[in-house]
């Protein structure tokens, strides 16, 4: 365990060294977990050739000492940003920080505390780039997390009966994931009935299910720190011809996008593959979001699988592929699976059927 974290820090040091960054400030909890094993949610991690230092508050110092190895722990008692700035006062070379995560106020406080000599450089994506390339052990965990999510989804289908409320299904889903070993949901479980399925990010509410309504279930579990994310759309009763046609189109779009996933392909190509199929059915204007996102320690991480994204897929990437069609006032359909990129093949981690289910 310890060696794994230390090896990641060494890989990071090589990367930042190549870019003439002397010290990297790591502010995302998932990234400091990746580098140290620390699971607290308040802190600032500084990685440099002189060692790794975690600045955190009194709620987390005991825990940080037990969870990490080879990491100096500093307990701060005032502002975290001021403490991080103070610590970086004597830093040599350029100090990298994540401009997509550090707030304007935090940077100002750090600059003030660190003094005028420190050279701050916006330098995004170093840790996130490493995190995107999952090793065999991480992939093994993600397989289990994906299978777990599929089992929970299949279990939830059995509870879908006219009269049941969205929120009851969501509660049951999150309860069952923990029964199966998850530490919790990777995001707020989406359960949307009828017209509400036309909201891609509906919050489960008090609505009761009626016969022949669409049901979108979108859920994810965190298992041993890694996230899964799966969506299926079903009809409780009989689907209309139109719904069947839409579902078939989304299924075809998803298959095309999964087919486009391979090492060397760009994320934009994967997105375009889904969009092209939907355009063939004149449904592309109802596909109002991007095709997918990276998945790992966070439920949304690099790479983004969206229109025009030039980032190239590499072995070890895990992404979601989740096209959808949403017609205001009628309903929505989304099908989502988790896909791992290997050198010579694509592996779908989520294993349950995708055909339209009529319950």
- Contact positions vs a copy of itself (CB under 8 A): 39-41, 57-63, 97, 99-108, 122, 124, 167-168, 170-172, 174-175, 178-179, 183-184, 188, 198-205, 288-289, 326, 328
Rounded-to-integer distance, Cα 329 and Cα 345, Å: 40
Inter-residue contact 273 to 259 (CB < 8 Å): yes
Q: Please, what's the b/e burial string for 151-186 (b: 16 or more CB within 10 A of its CB; e: otherwise)?
A: bbbeebbeebeeebbbebbbebbbebbeebebeebb
Inter-residue contact 295 to 268 (CB < 8 Å): no
CB nearer a copy of itself, residue 33 or residue 87: 33
For 120, the 3-state DSSP assignment is strand
Query: In angstroms, what is the minimal distance from the CB of 33 to a copy of itself?
Result: 11
CB nearer a copy of itself, residue 136 or residue 206: 206
Query: In angstroms, what is the minimal distance from the CB of 59 to a copy of itself?
Result: 4
CB nearer a copy of itself, residue 41 or residue 135: 41
CB nearer a copy of itself, residue 125 or residue 315: 125
β-strands 318-321, 324-327 pairing: unpaired
Query: In angstroms, what is the minimal distance from the CB of 73 to a copy of itself?
Result: 13
CB nearer a copy of itself, residue 215 or residue 357: 215
Rounded-to-integer distance, Cα 170 and Cα 186, Å: 13
CB nearer a copy of itself, residue 211 or residue 285: 285
Query: In angstroms, what is the minimal distance from the CB of 354 to a copy of itself?
Result: 21
Query: In angstroms, what is the minimal distance from the CB of 324 to a copy of itself?
Result: 9
Query: In angstroms, what is the minimal distance from the CB of 26 to a copy of itself?
Result: 15
Q: What's the per-residue H, E or C state across 211-249?
A: CCEEEEEEECEEECCEECCEEEEEEECCCCHHHHHHHHH
Rounded-to-integer distance, Cα 322 and Cα 147, Å: 17
Helix (H) or strand (E) holding 104: helix 104-114
């Amino acid at each position: 365990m310890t060696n794994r974290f230390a090896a990641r820090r060494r890989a990071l040091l090589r990367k930042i060294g190549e870019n003439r960054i002397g010290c990297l400030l790591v502010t995302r909890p998932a990234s400091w977990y990746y580098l140290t094993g620390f699971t607290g949610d308040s802190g600032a991690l500084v990685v440099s050739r002189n060692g790794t230092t975690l600045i955190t508050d009194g709620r987390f110092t005991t825990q940080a000492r037990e969870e990490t190895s080879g990491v100096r722990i500093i307990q701060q008692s005032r502002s975290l940003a001021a403490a991080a700035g103070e610590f970086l006062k004597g830093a040599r070379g350029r100090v990298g920080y994540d401009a997509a995560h550090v707030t304007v106020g935090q940077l100002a406080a750090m600059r003030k505390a660190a003094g005028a000599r420190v050279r701050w450089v916006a330098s995004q994506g170093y840790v996130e780039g490493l995190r995107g390339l999952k090793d065999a052990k991480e992939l093994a965990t993600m397989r289990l997390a994906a299978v777990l999510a599929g089992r929970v989804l299949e279990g939830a289908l059995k509870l879908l009966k006219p009269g049941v409320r969205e929120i009851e299904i969501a509660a049951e889903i999150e309860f069952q994931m923990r029964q199966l070993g998850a530490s919790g949901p990777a995001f707020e479980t989406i359960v949307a009935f009828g017209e509400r399925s036309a909201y891609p990010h509906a919050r489960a509410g008090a609505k009761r299910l009626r016969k022949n309504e669409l049901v979108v279930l979108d859920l994810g579990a965190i298992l041993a720190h890694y996230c899964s994310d799966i969506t299926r759309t079903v009809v409780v009763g009989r689907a209309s011809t139109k719904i069947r046609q839409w579902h078939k189109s989304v299924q075809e779009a998803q298959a095309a996008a999964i087919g486009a996933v391979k090492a060397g392909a760009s994320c934009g190509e994967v997105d375009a593959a889904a969009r092209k199929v939907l355009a063939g059915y004149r449904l592309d204007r109802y596909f109002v979001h991007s095709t997918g996102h990276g998945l790992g320690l966070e439920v949304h991480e690099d790479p983004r699988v969206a229109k025009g994204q030039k980032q190239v897929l590499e072995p070890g990437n895990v992404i979601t592929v989740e096209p959808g069609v949403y017609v205001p006032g009628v309903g929505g359909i989304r099908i989502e699976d988790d896909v791992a990129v290997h050198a010579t093949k694509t592996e779908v981690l989520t294993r349950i059927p995708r055909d339209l289910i009529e319950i």
